[in-house]
Chain A
Amino acid sequence: MKALAPAEINPLVPGFLADPFAAYRRLHQAGPVLWHPKLRLWLVAGHAAARQVVRNPVFLSAPAGPIVATLAARAGYVFPMLARSLGVVPFVLNPPAHPPVRRFAASILTGKPLAGYEPVMRALAVRLLGEARAAGGFDAAADFADRLPTLFMGHLLGVPEEEMPGLRRYTDDIAKLFNQLLHVREYRELDGRLGGGLELLERIAAERRRAPRDDAISRMVAARPEGGALSDAEIAAYCLMTFLVGSETTAALIGGAVRILLESPAHYAELRGERALLKPAVEEFLRCETPVQLLSRFASADAEAGGQRIAHGERMVVLLGAANRDPAAYPEPDRFDPRRDGAAHLAFGEAAHACIGATLARTEVRVALDAFLDLPPLRLRAPGRYGSYDWLRRLRQLPVEFA
């Protein structure tokens, strides 16, 4: 007998991630792995079960590229830019395509020692917050949490700053690309915008080919991975997807952390005074405000997870945000507590698809918050507004003012 999820809980409807925590509590009461009869897939909410699923190679990633291509064909379209882009995103690939793509994507992020990046992150954070301070109040999501990771990723890749507004236009709201239920109309619109972004990056790759610099695009031009040298078009795709995945998730975490701080004055004051607490606090932000809330998997053979029999071919949605608030793993799971010890959170996933930018993200968020805590005390001016993504809990607006 399959354990059933309450039918009215649907994590795939738009807006679910603006406040998913009451639903997660109900799922935890019902069981760690639950069959959703309407969605016809498994919801994995338990911490131990989620870890079991991400570690078990029988459960493969939902292949977004072929899924979007099938959908396009059924709707009578082709989305060539989406196909190009999704082909270089490691977390939607499976073996044999996955390992080389993942290795190459990781090499983009680790081409230079992290210590060299930290001063850049700090300078960018100080600059953005200086502008915000001069303006009196600001939007902690749009003016800070969003901009810092895009500017940093632009620096890492080697996108000149004057090209950044253009790239940001092409990539605004692009996180919806990984939604489970995206409209054909939205795929069409995204395909067009991705095309613009790819063209821009391809032009920069061609420039670096003529005159290399000390940046990731130049290193990609010079690289000779297993499959041989990459074309400018392939480099552009890697850049665009690294930019998207790296900056959207980091923006989500910075915004979520700022919101938690401004909603809990005691922690805000404590962290302003004791910066050594920032490092464990980042882990607790990752647990409470997990950016990637949902992973999509399917069973490549009959298997077992959380005491349920998963049949070959069945789909699963691993709710990382729920797993990170499982009362069986974390007492009082909804309480933010930077001094908490216990199970490691699953915010970065584990095993084959563990986040390749985890160290970079941890550093960037710590540096960002350190600079934020240097500002005079702030308070929320209005509740935040979340983007409508089903996989990413990410604020789009969070207006704040000086207290």
Chain B
Amino acid sequence: MAIESPRELTAENLRLWAAAYLAHLLDRPAAEIDLYRALSEFGLDSMDAVVMAGEMEEHFGVEIDPATFLREATLGELIAELAPLAGREGR
């Protein structure tokens, strides 16, 4: 699913994209997506994780391991890991 949101790799854009993506996937309003919950708690299965990593890569032009989405990490922590790449690998 293509998410219409800014593609520049910034913490804010990652947050916007992830909230919109998860809202669509889980069929819930984006405002209800708590980005500070562990990613594993969203209940994504391994296929969801692979697809989400692919979509995120295409959107932002960074490399993301699908296993990320099955870890204990929160989306906030993932964003903190990715944010330093901003301006380096971003499109």
Residues of chain A within 8 A of B45, CB atoms compared: 40
Quick check: which of B27-35, B52-60, B78-86 contacts chain A, the rest being far away? B52-60
Q: How far is the CB of B37 from the nearest CB of chain A, in Å?
A: 13
A10 within 8 A of B: yes
Count how many chain A residues have C-beta atoms less than 8 Å from C-beta atoms of the other chain: 20
Assess the B46–A14 pair: CB atoms within 8 A: no
Q: Does B65 contact A (CB under 8 A)?
A: yes
A184 CB, min distance to chain B CBs, angstroms: 3
Chain B residues with CB under 8 A of A182 = 50, 66
Given contacts A71-B51, A74-B51, A75-B51, contact A185 B46 (CB under 8 A): no
Query: Interface majority SS on A: helix, strand, loop or mixed?
Result: loop
In the bound assembly, the distance between CA atoms of A12 and B50 in angstroms comes to 12
Contact between A39 and B53, CB atoms less than 8 A apart? no
Instruction: Please judge, given known A-B contacts A12-B67, A181-B66, A183-B66, whether A39 and B54 are in contact too, CB under 8 Å.
Output: no
Residues in A1-51 with C-beta less than 8 Å from chain B: 7-8, 10, 12-14, 38-40
Name the prevailing secondary structure of the B interface residues. Answer: helix
- Assess whether B70 is interfacial by the CB under 8 Å rule: yes
Cβ-based interface call for B9 (8 A):
no
Give chain A residues whose Cβ lies under 8 Å from the Cβ of B57.
Answer: 183-185
Asked if B51 and A13 make an inter-chain contact with CB atoms under 8 angstroms apart, the answer reads no
Q: Does B13 contact A (CB under 8 A)?
A: no
Inside 8 A of B55's CB, which chain A residues have their CB?
75
Partner of B53, one of A12, A67, A184: A184
Cβ–Cβ < 8 Å partners of A71 in chain B: 47, 50-51
Query: A366 CB to closest chain B CB, in angstroms?
Result: 37
Q: Does A70 contact B (CB under 8 A)?
A: yes
Contact A181:B54 (CB < 8 A) given known A38-B70, A39-B70: no
Q: Is A180 an interface residue (CB 8 A)?
A: yes
Contact B67 A184 (CB under 8 A): no
Q: Do A70 and B47 touch across chains, with their CB atoms under 8 A apart?
A: yes
Are A183 and B53 within 8 A (Cβ)?
yes
B49 close to A (CB within 8 Å):
yes
The answer to whether A183 touches B70 (Cβ under 8 A) is: no
Closest to A13 in B: B67
How far does the Cβ of B11 sit from chain A's closest Cβ, in whole Å?
23
Contact partners of B51 in chain A: CB under 8 A: 71, 74-75, 184
Contact flag A184-B65 (CB < 8 Å), given A12-B70, A39-B70: no
Contacts of A13 in B (CB 8 A): 67, 70-71
* Bound Cα distance A182, B54 (Å): 10
Task: Enumerate A58-110 residues with CB–CB distance to B below 8 Å.
Answer: 67, 70-71, 74-75
User: In whole Å, how far is B46's beta carbon from the nearest beta carbon of chain A?
Assistant: 5
| Bound-state Cα–Cα, A38 to B73, Å | 12
Interface flag for B40 (CB, 8 Å): yes
Enumerate the 6 nearest inter-chain pairs by beta-carbon distance, A residue then B residue, closest first. A184-B54, A38-B40, A13-B67, A181-B66, A74-B51, A75-B54
Residues of A within 8 A of B (CB): 7-8, 10, 12-14, 38-40, 67, 70-71, 74-75, 180-185
Residues of B within 8 A of A (CB): 40, 43, 45-47, 49-51, 53-55, 57, 63, 65-67, 70-72
Please name 11 further chain A to chain B contacts, defined as beta carbons within 8 Å, in addition to the given A12-B67, A74-B47, A181-B46, sorted by A numbering.
A7-B72, A10-B67, A10-B70, A13-B67, A13-B70, A13-B71, A40-B43, A74-B51, A183-B53, A183-B57, A184-B53
